[in-house]
Amino acid sequence: MTDYFKLVTEAQKRLKVHAHVTPVVTSQTLNRMLDADVFFKCENFQRMGAFKFRGAFNAMSQLSEEQKKRGVITHSSGNHAQAVALVGRLLGIQTTVVMPDNAPAVKRKATEQYGATVIDYRACA
């Protein structure tokens, strides 16, 4: 049986130095409207602005040296692309992102600025 608590604990140890601790907040107004306690994990304060950093870092930090030398390639038009590119820069791993040609320009630019090679493909209509 998989020990998920152990896996989460190990991931937390890997991320501890690199991920920002982001706040959890609540809204009294929303709580009253819904008659419930609602919590928001503010991952918009995470590196590159999204929770995707956590998954990319956790996965890429576990690559073997041989795998790191080969680099990482992914497909994304947004936050995952930026996360993989940033983690690649932090860990010294060459990254390539296959991105649809209609991806937001701001996402493409950020991905390139983090150091990834972006390969365009024609998006289906």
Question: For the chain, which domains are there?
Answer: 17-121 (3.40.50.1100)
- What's the pLDDT tens digit per position in 15-41? 999 999 999 999 999 999 999 999 999
Asked if pLDDT for residue 104 goes beyond 70, the answer is yes
Task: Provide the pLDDT for residue 123.
Answer: 79
pLDDT in tens, 52-98: 999 999 999 999 999 999 999 999 999 999 999 999 999 999 999 99
Residue 103 — pLDDT band, cuts 50, 70, 90? very high
The one catalytic residue among 13, 52, 107, 109: 52
Which pLDDT band holds residue 2 (cuts at 50, 70, 90)? Answer: very high
Distance, CA of 64 to CA of 112 (rounded, Å): 25
- Other beta carbons within 10 angstroms of residue 120's beta carbon come to 13
- Give me the pLDDT at residue 29, please: 98
For 4-22, the pLDDT digits (tens) are: 999 999 999 999 999 999 9
Q: What is the pTM of this model?
A: 0.89
First to last CA, the chain: 44
Question: Which residue out of 41, 77, 107, 109 is catalytically annotated?
Answer: 77
Distance of CA 57 to the CA centre of its chain: 7
Query: Is the pLDDT confidence value at 125 over 70?
Result: no
Catalytic residue check, 52? yes
Concatenated DSSP letters of the chain: ---HHHHHHHHHHHHTTTSPP--EEE-HHHHHHHTS--EEE-GGGSGGGSTHHHHHHHHHTT--HHHHHH-EEEE-SSHHHHHHHHHHHHHT--EEEEEETTS-HHHHHHHHHTT-EEEEEPPP-
68 belongs to the catalytic site:
no
Residues whose CB is less than 8 angstroms from the CB of residue 64 and which lie 6 or more positions away in sequence, other chains included: none
